[in-house]
Structures are given as structure tokens and as C-alpha cells.
């Protein structure tokens, strides 16, 4: 695969820990482009063995998409999930495979992974909401719509019941449907010895 030269150019601009907003923006861009190696914040170079990583986030690609890893496979598609790693000594960000830095320095990788797992457990609920905050408006609108429908149903059902059960209709709607069947009564002439009419009850689902 061809990795753009711009991706291989070091970007030592992250003197301080990148913000949560930037991490969320990177994750959204990865999902949209399917090309993590082209992210403008990514430095696609192999980190030195003693360059300490700090994991700031995780990302997934849609099924069927892969990306290279600057640590171990810079020119070939390799994995479909990875980590956003900040290297404070180099002041760069790299989008790396989930455990690929282990091949360079297992000790530093395990330390970074333990710290990331601790942070993730503490902020998981917050991060889930922040990453989906663009959807909150739609969720609230949908909830308002369901509430309006429920209130309308609460008004409609008693009104319909009163309509059917009031004179002159006098139809016991609730009694006829409370068992999940519509009970229908009809008057028909029956084969009797005397001329009279009988009422028969039938059920239809």
C-alpha cells in the first residue's frame, strides 16, 4: 500500500496531553474515512524502543477494513482495531495496533496498558456519552414523540370507550376485547318449534 509522505512526516506538536475533544474527533474521522494512516494528527513512523507511549483511546474499523501499524507493519494492511497513542518524549500521536508496541518494548507497553485500563474503567460512562453527544438531540426528539403518542393514547382510549358504551350504541368495548379477542354477538333465527330469536356468542381473533 502507498502511505502518503505527509503521514510519514513527524508532527511534534503535542507538547501536552491531547484533549478528549481531539481524541473523539480522531475516532469519528477514522470511522468516516476508514483510513487511520491519513489522519492529519498521525505520525506514521516507527517509534524508538525507549519512547514511552500513553494510550488515550481505542478505535475500530468497519468489518472488512484494515490499517497498517507504524510499529510493526508500516506498509501493509494488518489490523482492524487499534489504539491512539501519545508519545510525550517525541510529542507526537500515533495510531498503532492494539498490542504492537509490545514488540518494541514490552515493559513500557504493559505499563501504558495498565494505566489505560484504569482510566477507561473510571471514565467509560462519560466517554460513551461524549462520543455520542451528536445523537442526543435525536434521542430527545424521539423520546418527546413517544411521550406525545402515549399521552394521546391515554386520551383516546377512554374517549373511544365512552363513545361505544354510551347510548344509543351501548357496546361494551372493554368487555368485548379484554381477553385479546373481539367477541361478536349477533341475532339470528334458529330452528325452533316456536317463532323466536336467539342470541349466539362467537369469537374471532
pLDDT in tens, 37-56: 999 999 999 999 999 999 99
pLDDT of residue 197: 42
pLDDT of residue 86: 98
Count of alpha carbons within 13 Å of 137, Cβ hemisphere only? 1
Q: What is the mean pLDDT of residues 127-137?
A: 63
Cβ atoms of 45 and 12 closer than 8 Å = no
Beta bridge partners of 69: 73
- Helix, strand, coil: what percent of the chain each, to 5? 45, 20, 35
Give the pLDDT band of residue 195 (cuts 50, 70, 90).
very low
pLDDT of residue 66: 96
- From the CA atom positions of the chain, what is the Rg in Å? 33
Count of alpha carbons within 13 Å of 101, Cβ hemisphere only? 27
User: Which range, of 25-34, 137-146, 155-164, averages the lowest pLDDT?
Assistant: 155-164
Give the pLDDT band of residue 22 (cuts 50, 70, 90).
very high
Residues 6+ apart with CB under 8 A from 160: 173
Residue 203 above 60 pLDDT? no
- At 162-194, the pLDDT tens digits run 666 665 656 666 566 656 566 666 666 666 554
Cβ atoms of 171 and 164 closer than 8 Å = yes
pLDDT of residue 74: 95
Q: Residue 132 has which C-alpha cell?
A: 455520542
pTM higher than the cut 0.75: no
pLDDT of residue 169: 57
- At 148-159, the pLDDT tens digits run 777 776 676 676
Q: To the nearest whole percent, how much of the chain has pLDDT over 90? A: 54
pLDDT of residue 115: 94
pLDDT of residue 116: 93
Comparing CA positions, the residue from 27, 205, 52 lying closest to residue 116 is 52
Q: Spell out the alpha helix ranges (H) of 34-166.
A: 106-131, 133-165
Give the pLDDT band of residue 6 (cuts 50, 70, 90).
very high
Amino acid at each position: 500500500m502507498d502511505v502518503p509522505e505527509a503521514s510519514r512526516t513527524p508532527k511534534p506538536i503535542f507538547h501536552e496531553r491531547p484533549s478528549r475533544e481531539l481524541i473523539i474527533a480522531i475516532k469519528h474521522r477514522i470511522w468516516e474515512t476508514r483510513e487511520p494512516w491519513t489522519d492529519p494528527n498521525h505520525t506514521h513512523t516507527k517509534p524508538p524502543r525507549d519512547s514511552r507511549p500513553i494510550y488515550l483511546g481505542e478505535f475500530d474499523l468497519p468489518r472488512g477494513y484494515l490499517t497498517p501499524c507504524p510499529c510493526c507493519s508500516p506498509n501493509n494492511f494488518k489490523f482492524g482495531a487499534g489504539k491512539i497513542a501519545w508519545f510525550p518524549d517525541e510529542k507526537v500521536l500515533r495510531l498503532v495496533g492494539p498490542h504492537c508496541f509490545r514488540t518494541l518494548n514490552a515493559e513500557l507497553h504493559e505499563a501504558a496498558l495498565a494505566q489505560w485500563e484504569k482510566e477507561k474503567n473510571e471514565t467509560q460512562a462519560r466517554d460513551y456519552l461524549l462520543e455520542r453527544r451528536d445523537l442526543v438531540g435525536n434521542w430527545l426528539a424521539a423520546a418527546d414523540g413517544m411521550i406525545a403518542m402515549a399521552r394521546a393514547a391515554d386520551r383516546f382510549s377512554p374517549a373511544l370507550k365512552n363513545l361505544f358504551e354510551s347510548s344509543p350504541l351501548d357496546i361494551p368495548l372493554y368487555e368485548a376485547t379484554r381477553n385479546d379477542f373481539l367477541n361478536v354477538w349477533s341475532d339470528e333465527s334458529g330452528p325452533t318449534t316456536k317463532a323466536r330469536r336467539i342470541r349466539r356468542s362467537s369469537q374471532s381473533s
